[in-house]
Structure 1
Amino acid sequence: MKAMVYRLNSAVSKLFLCALVAVMPGLVQAQSVNDGQAVKALTTDSAGALLVLRDSGLLAMEGQNTTEIPLPLYDSGAQPRSMAKGADDSLYLAGPGLGIWRYEFASERWHSLNDTLPDLGITAIAAHATQPETLYAYLGEGGMFRSRDGGAVWVKVDSGPREPVQAFLHSDMPGSMESGWLFAGTTRGVARSMDCFCFWGDAGELRGTVSAIDYDPSAPENVYAVIEGQLHHSSDGGETWADLEAHQVVTALTFSPSKGLVVGTENGELLSRDASGEWVPVYE
């Protein structure tokens, strides 16, 4: 009788272990997809995978596949917090104490673009919507810098808006005297200028500290900004704004070729809007 009970317990234990092994990848996947840390920045790669920056690192996520992209080596005081995708799908990472880095997907290596910058205090970076070699960066009191050769040489081009810039965007929205528009999320609201740096003016009456800003590449007049966790939408290039309720504290946003508008939240979730306008998890 004891032997029978032992064999039964052993069989149950093996069954439990097999079941645990079967679900472990899903558990690991769930932990990787959402580790509870706020999403600091979002963008996509050339294949449409979401690139998600948190304090714990950088992940490339597509469907059920999650791949960690090791961050470049930097001092402990550095703060990676801004990402941009170039017109050639290059990935750029920036932040105070970090400066600016470009990631080569083919070689899986980071390259520093800091040689000609005055210092590493970059708070926001933007990539030109159509010119792969043109980049923009904001260096606090140092002002606006531009590179026309992929980050090899940076030149100061403007002092920027009166208020500090927290988020940065280049758009190919029509109407510019040159090649597009720059939208700067500042501590006062959204500022806008043609990329000739002719004049910085308010983009509408939206007020507050902007922590993230992006636009719909297929419809550039649609601009989105996050102020104190609240998502706002402009359908006319920043002239007027309306609240877009996400029912969570939003911390980052981007546009995915397959998902459309995707937002990252304070508790680490990734949400997109379905056809009915409801917010749904990107990866359930």
Structure 2
Amino acid sequence: MERSRTLKKSPDATGGGHPGTLRRRMFLTMTGSTFIAALLPGRTAQATGYAASAVTFSGQSVVVAGDGVRSVDVSTGTAAGLTATDRPIRALANHPDHPDRLFAAPAGGGIARSDDGGRVWRSSSNGLPDAQVTALAVAAEAPGTVYAAVAGDGLWRGEDAGRTWSFVMDRPWIEEAEQDVLALASVNLASGMGGIWLYAGTEKGLTRVPDCFCRWQDVVAGDAMDALVSGAAPPPEAPLPEGEPVLALVSAHTAPEQLYAALPSGLWASTDGGATWQRRSSLHARALAVAPADPGHIAAATDTELKLSRDGGVNWATLAAL
């Protein structure tokens, strides 16, 4: 059964059929069991040279993470330094039902968790491989479930708010190779297979998998089950540009069909669950977040600024320098 366009069937869609996969995963898991994330209680973000790589809304503030962690008030732009890990943070995630519960992926591997909006962090990596976590997402319908994409390995899930982890899926198989996941979003749209979707951005574009983790597939219009069975669904009329990496990807909590993606070519938006896309602006964003109650309110971190849009990414205003 072939996938439409560039996605091909993985040798084992359940996660165990690639040569060396079992040996690789056993090694990563064994070394990961000895990993403890070091935390430095007094370290705060600097005002310049911040190199932000992740953002998320937390209450009335935007939490910005990179070389440090900062909380920026949306109304005033006032920034406050928060306690940070001793390593730069590569990914960040939370859920509107628990705005102060943050999950972060420090450089070098592991996951740190904060239950007070980023002031105190602790390691939350039990069972996770000792490899870089490249993307994080909290399940849209289950705020106690967290997904982590691990470089060179695949998707892991923590169903107890990230305290323990288990492997669920190999990396996406695109253009005859497994691709690392750069961005991850849990999208509360029915998959037709008894669950909802987990969307992933890679160096080779966008893909998705239902949370039953049967197989990765293209994002297509119409019924997903029909597309899966036929294996020949036509490509969408306005897909994301081919050949560009998806650097950031977010779904609106109150309007899950509304997606935003950051590509080198700019900020792109979809209003139909990712089947078709429109370029909203030329903004070069490193990270994106959507306000929980307003699908048109977006925060974006560029190389130098934290910016906000109130109209779905068409116009932007600078909230703070980074």
Q: Which protein, 1 or 2, shows the higher relative CO under an 8 Å CA cutoff with sep ≥ 6?
A: 2
Whole-angstrom distance in 1 between the partners of 2:56 and 2:118: 20
Equivalenced residue count is 246
Residue matched to 1:133: 144
Q: What TM-score, normalized by structure 1, do the two folds share?
A: 0.78
Residue matched to 2:85: 72
Residue matched to 1:235: 271
Residue matched to 1:20: none
Retained in 1: the 8 A contact 2:112–2:122? yes
Q: Which has the larger radius of gyration?
A: 1
- Paired amino acid for 2:111: I
CA offsets 1:30-80 (integer angstroms, 9 cap, x no match): xx99746443111011x231111233x111111333221121234xxxx41
- Paired amino acid for 1:50: V
RMSD, matched Cα: 2.6
Quick one: structure 1 residues 139 and 150, their matched pair in 2 at CA, closer, same or farther if it must change by over 3 Å?
Answer: same
Quick one: structure 1 residues 117 and 60, their matched pair in 2 at CA, closer, same or farther if it must change by over 3 Å?
Answer: same
Retained in 2: the 8 A contact 1:36–1:268? no
CA offsets 1:72-128 (integer angstroms, 9 cap, x no match): 234xxxx41100013422111014414111112089321211121121321111111
* Identity percentage of aligned residues: 30
Whole-angstrom distance in 2 between the partners of 1:276 and 1:184: 20
Quick one: structure 1 residues 273 and 36, their matched pair in 2 at CA, closer, same or farther if it must change by over 3 Å?
Answer: farther
Quick one: structure 1 residues 147 and 178, their matched pair in 2 at CA, closer, same or farther if it must change by over 3 Å?
Answer: farther
Structure 2: tracts of 5 or more residues without a match: 1-44, 174-178, 220-235
- The counterpart of 1:81, out of the listed 81, 90, 93, is 90
Q: Kindly report which structure 2 residues correspond to 1:84-103, keeping only aligned pairs within 5 A, or say none.
A: 84-86=93-95, 87-89=97-99, 90-103=101-114
CA offsets 1:140-168 (integer angstroms, 9 cap, x no match): 22211111111222111110312211111
CA offsets 1:154-206 (integer angstroms, 9 cap, x no match): 11111031221111111112344334210101010111111111221123542
Higher helix share: 1
Q: Does 1:249 align with 2:260?
A: no
Residue matched to 1:147: 158
Structure 1: tracts of 5 or more residues without a match: 1-31
Retained in 2: the 8 A contact 1:38–1:264? no
Whole-angstrom distance in 1 between the partners of 2:285 and 2:198: 22
CA offsets 1:218-259 (integer angstroms, 9 cap, x no match): 11111111112511111111111111114x322211112467
- Paired amino acid for 2:113: R
Q: What TM-score, normalized by structure 2, do the two folds share?
A: 0.69
